[in-house]
Structure 1
Amino acid sequence: MAGKRSREPGELESQVLRILRGFDGPVGARDIQALFEEPRPAYTSLLTILDRLRVKGLVAREELSPRKVRFSALQTSEEHASDAMLGVLGEVDDRRAVLLRFAGNLDDADVAFLRDALAAKRK
Structure 2
Amino acid sequence: MIWISAARPGRTHDNTAARHDRILAHLRAAGLGALADLGFRGLDNDVRDPVIVTGFHASRTHKLAPGQKTANRVLAVGRAPVEHGFAHLKNWRILTKLRTDPARATRLLRALLVLTNLEVNR
Query: Quick check: TM above 0.5?
Result: no
| TM-score normalised by structure 1 residue count | 0.26
TM-score scaled by length of structure 2:
0.26
* Structure possessing the higher relative contact order (Cα contacts under 8 Å, 6 or more residues apart): 2
- Bigger-Rg structure (1/2): 1
Larger proportion of strand: 1
